[in-house]
Structures are given as structure tokens and as C-alpha cells.
Amino acid sequence: MPIGDLLPEIVLLLGAVVIVLFAAFTPQRLQRWSAALALAALALAAWFSVLQWDTPSRLTFSGVWALDGVAIAAKLLILFSGAVVVALSPDWMRSDRRHAEYYALCLFSLLGMIMMASANDAMELVLGVLLSSAASYPLAAYHRGFPPALEAAMKYFLIGALANALLVIGVVILFGLVGDTDYAVAADVFQAGTDPIALSVAVACIVLGLTYKLGAAPAHAWMPDVAQGAPAPIAAFLTVAPKIGAAVALARLVTLLPQDLAWPAIIALISVATMTLGNLAALKQTDLRRLLGWSSVSQSGYMLMAIVVVGSGVAALPALLAFLAAYALANLLAFAVVTHLRGRTDFAHYHGMARRQPLTTAALIIALLSLVGIPPLVGFFGKFLLFEVTIEAGYAWLAAVAAVNTLVSLYYYLRVIALTMFKAPPGEVHVLGGWSRVALLVTLALLIAASLGFQWLIEGLSHISLASY
């Protein structure tokens, strides 16, 4: 077995195990050091992923595990998101008496997301989705005494249980049609022709299952609640990282399908519904974290635009990954600001923040403007590439819908910006601590670097593709 191909994942797994053991035998005051262990595991895993970067794309482990540019780029992005979240956590979790296992759960969840991105086999995909879900539920509910967190986690769990069940049903039907769970075999069978109705049902179930992880309609309802109720670093985590894995998994799945299934139209429909719903719902929020939750729903809609055209011979995958990178940076930064400001979330508590915390507010404004896509921030380039590939592939109407949605989104992002800049400032503003400040500044610096050095980002991504069979 080519164990070396799985080094990043093995490192994550071992890191999680070590943290669980560490947590079991360590006094409470030392528990925060598991964050350092988790960061070390993430750094090591990222290092091993970087080493895989230049190898030609291929399938490994009897074809169930894809080792291609898309998977590795997604992996790095997921690991980066995980690192930001872990760095934000020690200060946030300070008051929790037992929080060492928290980091182990983060690593397990990350592992599941990486599996989603790399799975080239339906069973592998199910395993990834279930692992990341199972590890995320307790994370969302980590504040055991905080009713909104419990409610959010319960919602997250119920929708997740339903969506995962659908996913499994879809995979079972797929297995029935193909006789195998391997994507390569499935592609061959689809080429030869298969029962279109059964295939449609199977694909519909799998896509619905994945929309849950994407936070796309119709399984998006958990996103705003989790963004509002879960611990702030976990809100950052769950609004970003699962999407990356699920988007790549979806792209991998739809490229298998025969063209006569009209899947681009269905994905386009989900995309339009998601972005419109997310934006309209965000319009009347008066709670920043909830607003960010809805905004991440709408961002999932934009992201799906790239998947619509993934089979049209345009550079959809680089656009998808570039957009995901831009989104991840901006959303992590926004939640890092919320975390650093001790999770304050009511609009009223952000009045005049620019005068009390200029740098932190500047970071928030930059994050929001990047989410809108105001140039020259990286979010603009991400959106620009999406527009470009959709127009090039003949979906100009989709780009136009997205443009109108962008305009709508500007309204609510500007509302937040106006509050921080124009209102009279409140009294004293307390911030969290050193770790969160460093995580915030690093994310901000990376966002600015990615904006100015977008060339390197897109150049690195321009050659990525899915492993072929």
C-alpha cells in the first residue's frame, strides 16, 4: 500500500489521537497547549501536502483516493482554515474547564473534509461526509450551558442527519446501477448508457446531501444558526471549511455524469436559489454573526456557478479554487474580528467601533468589502473569474443574476460598515487576547497579500485539474 500518499491525513489522525491522550492526562491549566499540538499537526500535514503538489495527478489506493491538483489545493485551503480556527480558539475557550478535546475534534472534522475533497469513490465520500459531520456536531454545541449553541447544534444535527441519510440512499442507488462505488467504473457505465430515472434519483439524493455541507439551498438552514450560536471560532470553521471539501466533491461527481442528464441546469438553479435566498435573508438581519451566516449561504451560491460550467471546457476549477480561497480568507477574517471583539454580535454593539478599535474595524471593513468583491481585494478577482468562466461557457444570464445579487449584498455589508464608521462610539471595548490578535493580523496580512499578489495565486492554480481515469 502506498502509505506515503496519505501522509498528510495520517499526520492529522495521529495529531488528533495524541491530543486526546494529552487531554486525558493533563491538568486543566495546561490544556490550552493542545492548541499548539494541533497547530503543529496542521503545519506538518500542510508541509506534506505541499510536497505532493508537484507530483503528476493520479489515483491511489486502488483508485479510491485522488491525488490531483484540485484535491491538494483544497487540502491546503482546508488546513489553512483549520489553522486560523485553532489559533483563534485558546483565548475564546479560556473559560471552558475542559477544552483540550476540542482541538482533537477540529482535526477529525478537518480530516473528514479532506476526505470529501479527495474521494474518488462514493463510499469514501460518504465516510468523509459522516466523519466531518460527526466531529462537527459537538463542536457546534461546545458551549454546553449556552442555549443558543445547543439550539444551533440541534438544528445542525437534524438537518445533517436527514441530508446524510439522503446522501447514503443516493450512493446505494448508484451502487445498484453501477455495481461498484468507484467513480472510474461509474463513468464507464454512464458512458455505455444506464437507466436515466434511477440515475437522476441517485444524483438528486447525492447533490442534496452535499448541499448540506455546502450550506446551499435547500439544506442551508443550519448556517445562520450555527454562525450565531456556535463558539465564534467554530462559526468561522463551519462556514468555511466544509464548503471547500463539498465543492470539490460535487465538482468531481458532476464531471462523471452524462451530458444528457441536464445537471448544469439543476446546479444553476440551486446556485440562483442559494445566492438570492441568502442575500434576501441577510438584508434584514440586525446581528452581525447571523448576517455573516446568511452571507456565507449566498457565497455558496456564487461558488456553485463554477460547478455549473465545470464540464464546459472552461477554466472552471481554477476559478472555483480561487474563489474559495478568496472567500475563505475574507470570511475567516470577518469571524476573526468577531472573535477578537469577544463575540459581540448585535449591531448596536458595533456603533462607532472604528474610533475605539481602528485596526480591528479596518480588518472587518476589508473583509466585508472583499466579500462584496470591491477591487482590488482578492474577493473581486475570485468573483471576476467566476463571471468570466460563466460568460465564456454561455451562461451570461447566470453572471447577470450574480451581479444583481452582488448589488443586493452590498447593501447589507455597507450597513455594517456604516455602523462602525458613522455612529457615535460606545464606552470601553474589550478584546480577547494575544492569540486571537495574531490570528486576525495574519489573516488580514494574507488577504492583502493575496489581493496584491493574485498573479501567484492564479498561476499556481491555473494548471490544476481532476485526476483522470
Partner 1 sequence: MLLTLAWGLPLFGALLLALLPRRSESGARILASIFAVLSLALLVWAWLGFDSGGPLFQHVLDLPWVPSIGVGYRVGVDGIALAVATMSALVFLASIAYPVDTKDEPRQYYAWMLFLMATSLAVFLVLDLLLFYVFFDLSLVGMYFLIGRWGHGKPQLSALTFFLFTFAGSLAMLLAIIGLYLSLDSPSFDMRLIIEQQPLAGGGLYAGLVFLGLMLGLAIKTPLVPLHTWLPQAHVDAPGPASAILAGVLLKMGTYGMVRLPLAMLPDTFQRYALVVGIIALVAILYGALVALGQRNLKRRIAYTSINHMGYTVLGIAVAASVSDNLMAKQLALTGATVEMVAHGLITGALFLICGSFWQRTGEYDLDHYGGLAQRAPLLAGLTVLAAFASLGMPGLAGFVAEFQIFAGTFAVYPWLAILAVLGILITAGLFLDLLRRLFFGRLPAHLGQFTELNWVEATVLGALGLGIVIIGVYPRFLLEVIDSASALLIGGR
Residue 198 vs 418, nearer CB to partner 1: 418
Instruction: Tell me if 455 contacts partner 1 by CB under 8 A.
Output: yes
Residue 122 vs 401, nearer CB to partner 1: 401
DSSP structure class, residue 2: -
Residue tagged 457546534 (cell numbers):
140
d(CA 117, CA 360): 33
Asked if 463 and 69 touch (Cβ cutoff 8 Å), the reply is yes
In the complex, the smallest distance separating the C-beta of residue 407 from partner 1, rounded to whole angstroms, is 5
Instruction: Tell me if 18 contacts partner 1 by CB under 8 A.
Output: no
Burial class (CB in 10 A: 0-12, 13-18, 19+), 432: buried
Instruction: Tell me if 263 contacts partner 1 by CB under 8 A.
Output: no
Residue 277 vs 399, nearer CB to partner 1: 399
Which of 94, 265, 422, 425 is in the footprint of partner 1 by CB under 8 A? Answer: 422
In the complex, the smallest distance separating the C-beta of residue 351 from partner 1, rounded to whole angstroms, is 12
Report the site for partner 1 in 344-403 (rule: CB under 8 A).
369, 374-376, 380-381, 384-385, 387-388, 391-392, 396, 399-400, 403
The SS3 call for residue 149 is helix
In the complex, the smallest distance separating the C-beta of residue 314 from partner 1, rounded to whole angstroms, is 10
Instruction: Tell me if 448 contacts partner 1 by CB under 8 A.
Output: no
User: Which range in 82-90, 288-296, 433-441, 455-463 contacts partner 1 by CB under 8 A?
Assistant: 455-463
Q: Is the peptide bond before 56 cis (omega within 30 degrees of 0)?
A: no
Which of 55, 198, 445, 459 is in the footprint of partner 1 by CB under 8 A? Answer: 459
Which of 28, 411, 434, 465 is in the footprint of partner 1 by CB under 8 A? Answer: 411
Burial class (CB in 10 A: 0-12, 13-18, 19+), 377: buried
Residue 329 vs 432, nearer CB to partner 1: 329
d(CA 332, CA 88): 10
In the complex, the smallest distance separating the C-beta of residue 388 from partner 1, rounded to whole angstroms, is 5
In the complex, the smallest distance separating the C-beta of residue 336 from partner 1, rounded to whole angstroms, is 22
d(CA 437, CA 427): 21
Asked if 343 and 362 touch (Cβ cutoff 8 Å), the reply is no
| One-character DSSP codes across 290-345 | HHHHHHHHHHHHHHHHHHHTTTTTSSHHHHHHHHHHHHHHHHHHHHHHHHHTTT--
Instruction: Tell me if 407 contacts partner 1 by CB under 8 A.
Output: yes
Binding residues for partner 1, rule: CB under 8 A, are 369, 374-376, 380-381, 384-385, 387-388, 391-392, 396, 399-400, 403-404, 406-407, 410-411, 414, 418, 421-422, 454-455, 458-459, 462
